[in-house]
Amino acid sequence: MRIVSVVGTRPQLIKVAALQPALRRDHEDIFVDTGQHYDDAMAGNFFAELGLARPDHSLGIGGGGHGDQTGRMLIALEPLLLDASPDAVIVYGDTNSTLAGALAAAKLGIPVAHVEAGLRSFDRRMPEEINRVVADHLSTWLFAPTPAAVANLATEGITAGVLEVGDLMFDLAARISAEVRGPAVLAAIASRLNLAISTGRYLFATVHRAENRSPEAMAAWTALFEAVALPDRPVVLALHPGTRIALETAHIVLPPNVIVIEPQGYRTSLALQLHAAAVLTDSGGIQRESAWLGVPCLVLRDTTEWVETVGGPDSSAVLVGLDRSAAIREIDARAPQGQSARQATDRAAGLRVVQAGAAERISAALVSAEPPVEVGT
C-alpha cells in the first residue's frame, strides 16, 4: 500500500519509531510532520535518537489555538494528500495533528487508520478526548491497544475494522529498556545535566496538559510539588515550553527543591523514570512507560484513558489529581523515603520488558488493503 503517516508531537514520534521499520518493509510510507511540537527540545532530537527517517514533508505549523492550529493543518494537508493519492492515511493518538489528518483524509475519501483507537477518558472537557472520538468515527482501520479500548468502541457501535494490536510504545520501551538499566546511565545523565541525584533519591515530573495550565491549576500542582519535594529527594521537573510560558505569565514561582530541566530525549526520559523513587505526571505516555518499568506513578489528573494502569494499592499508577494530601499519602505508601533507594535499585537491576509485536500486527493488517472483519465474526 501507499500510506501517508501524519504525526506532530513527541509521543507520536515515539509510536512512529516503533512502527516505521515494519511499515517501510511492507509498504510505501510517506512521512508527514505537521510541526505541532515545533522546537528541538520537544521533537527535533528524537529523529536521530530513535533512528527515524526525516519527514518527507514538514509542514511547520507550530503553535496557536486549537481551531487555528487544526485549520492550518487541514489547509496544508489537503493538497499534499491530493498529490500523493495514498491508499490510506495513518494517524496516531489524540492530538490536533490526529484530528486534522483524519478529517483531511476522510473529506477526500481516503481510508483512515487510527493507531490507539478506542481510548476514552470520558471527559469531553479534554481536547484530546474530542480528537480521539472524532478520529475513531472517521476511521476504517481501528488499531486498539487494549481490550478496554475494543470494548469502548463497541459501546459506541464501532465493531467493523477494529483490531486489538497491543501498544507500539510498549514495544519501543522493551527495545530500549536494557540500555537504561545500569546505574552508570543515570550517573552520566546527572553529570550532563548538572544534577545532584542518585537512584531512588529524586522524583521525576512532567506537566503539559491544557487543564493544568490555568492559574488555579498551576497554583495547586506547584503546592503539591512543594509538599512532596525534599532537600534530599527533590522533584526533577522536565518543563514543557508551554507550561513554562504559562507559569511566567501567571507569575507563579516553582517552590524550593524543584529542579527544572529541559524536555529530554526518549532514552534520557526513560532512564529518569526508571531510576526515580516515583513519577508525577499528567502525560498518558509517561503513565504507561512508568507502568512497564514498574515505577510508582502519581497521575495529576482526575480521569485517565489508560485504565489498566490504575486501580488498587498494587497497581503502578494512582489518580491523585491536584490533591496535595493524596499525593503525600500515595508517595509515602508507594515509595517510602527510607526504602525508595533500595526499591529503585532493585527495580532497575531486575528490569525485563519483552516486545509484544504491535508494529507487526499493524503492518500485516494493512498488507491486504482491507480492514479486519467485524469484531466477533
Residue type, 90: I
In this structure, what DSSP letter does residue 253 have? Answer: P
| Sequence-separated (6 or more) residues with CB below 8 Å from residue 294 | 316, 347, 351
Grid coordinates representing 48? Answer: 536521530
CB 49 within 8 A of CB 265: yes
Look up 208 and say whether it is catalytic: yes
From the list 27, 208, 240, 275, the catalytic residue is 208
CB 76 within 8 A of CB 59: yes
Determine the Cα–Cα distance for residues 197 and 185; give it in Å rounded to an integer: 12
Q: Is 91 helix (H, G, I), strand (E, B) or coil?
A: strand
Which stretch of DSSP H or E encloses residue 242?
helix 241-249
Place of cell 531486575: 350
Q: Is 352 helix (H, G, I), strand (E, B) or coil?
A: coil
* Total residues found in the chain within this entry: 377
CB 212 within 8 A of CB 239: no
Radius of gyration of the chain (CA): 20
CB 182 within 8 A of CB 259: no
Q: Which residues are catalytically annotated?
A: 208
